[in-house]
Amino acid sequence: MSEAGSTQHAERRLSLLVTVLAFALPVVFVLVPLAIFLGYSFFSVDQGTIVYGLSLGNYVRFLTDPVFLPVFWNTIVLCVSVAIICILLAYPAAYFLTTLKGRWRYALLMLLLVPLLMSYVIKIYAIRSILGLNGFLNKALVALGILQEPSTLFVFNMNAILLTLTLLLIPFAILPIFLSLERIPQVLLRASDDLGASGLQTFLRITLPLSLPGVASAASFVFVLAIGDFLTPQMVGGISGFTFGRILYSQFGTAYNWPFGAALSVALAVVVIAAILVGERFGRNRGTSV
């Protein structure tokens, strides 16, 4: 009896411990750092040292200085474009995958996801070589006669960031779209066929609406990852591809203006959280109506 009691006791203690850990980990590693970050955004810097007095100065500067808002807006436009292009490319790919049978489907999906196993920096380096003036893309276009001579259109500007981010983030768009397409019951498609709908009609009236939740979460994934990235713009953006991430990054290096950097991060976080909420809400509404 007593032995059974003590095991029960131990079990209860274990489950309590697990519960505490489950709550403590996100609090300690996510909420507390975020709160510290938020706190920092109200401090200021004087002569290279942080002044721990509360002020709204950083936010006022962000909203009134002519430098930050335009860059912020351009960056949002850029990342929305990346998300749209990713979706346009990923949708046909994901659709094609669902038409495959059996093991081919998953083998090909794995192949599309393989780039995620590679280091981010190495991929950027590789893409930058491809886009360069003596790079593969230019050589191919010249060899095919599409271009007379190598062009600098593809590297060290906004186009380069757009291309690179799209390439890097496409796997994140394929996966959710593929999952939502795969979840569509085959019976619905067959019923539509039986009732005399054409392939296009079936796609437009059944497949597409039912896959929109996947599209929504894919778009918010890609947007969030793109807007938080400073490395890609830094490495392929050159002189005209100046993004918000690069401004943010510069606050933490030589400038040593952590409080202002924190305030800029908060602005970024607001947009990111909004994007996630929109993506999730849109996705869920459509999902439950199935």
Measured distance between the N- and C-terminal CA atoms of the chain, rounded to whole angstroms: 52
46 or 194: CB nearest another protein: 46
Q: Return the residues of window 145-164 that contact another protein according to CB under 8 A.
A: 152, 155-156
State how far the Cα of 194 lies from the Cα of 188, in Å rounded to an integer. Answer: 10
Angstrom distances, CA of residue 71 to CA of 24, 77, 157, 209, 274? 38, 10, 14, 35, 19
Closest distance between another protein and the C-beta of residue 65, in Å?
9
Contact with another protein (CB under 8 A): which of 169, 222, 235, 263?
235
Binding mask 52-91 for another protein (x = CB under 8 A): ---------------x--xx--------------------
> Would you say 184 and 207 are in contact if contact means Cβ atoms under 8 Å apart?
yes
Contact with another protein (CB under 8 A): which of 238, 269, 280, 282?
238
Q: Is 247 in the site for another protein (CB under 8 A)?
A: yes
86 or 264: CB nearest another protein: 264
User: Residues binding another protein: what is the number (CB under 8 A)?
Assistant: 31
Closest distance between another protein and the C-beta of residue 160, in Å?
10
Contact with another protein (CB under 8 A): which of 141, 184, 250, 280?
250
Closest of 123, 120, 106, 62 to residue 268, by C-alpha? 62
Helix axes 258-288, 32-40, angle to 10 degrees: 130
State how far the Cα of 245 lies from the Cα of 242, in Å rounded to an integer. Answer: 8
DSSP string for 116-162: GGS-HHHHHHHHHHHHSTTSHHHHHHHHTTS-SS--STTSSSHHHHH
Q: Return the residues of window 119-138 that contact another protein according to CB under 8 A.
A: 125, 128-129, 132-135
228 or 238: CB nearest another protein: 238
137 or 222: CB nearest another protein: 137
Structure tokens at 37: 């970050």
Closest distance between another protein and the C-beta of residue 135, in Å?
5
> Would you say 192 and 202 are in contact if contact means Cβ atoms under 8 Å apart?
yes
Q: Is 254 in the site for another protein (CB under 8 A)?
A: yes
- Please identify, among the stretches 92-100, 111-119, 166-174, 255-263, the one whose residues bind another protein according to the rule CB under 8 A: 255-263
State how far the Cα of 210 lies from the Cα of 252, in Å rounded to an integer. Answer: 44
Backbone φ, ψ for residue 52 (5° rounding): -90, 50
User: Could you list the residues that contact another protein (CB under 8 A)?
Assistant: 45, 48, 67, 70-71, 125, 128-129, 132-135, 152, 155-156, 234-235, 237-240, 242, 246-247, 250-251, 253-257
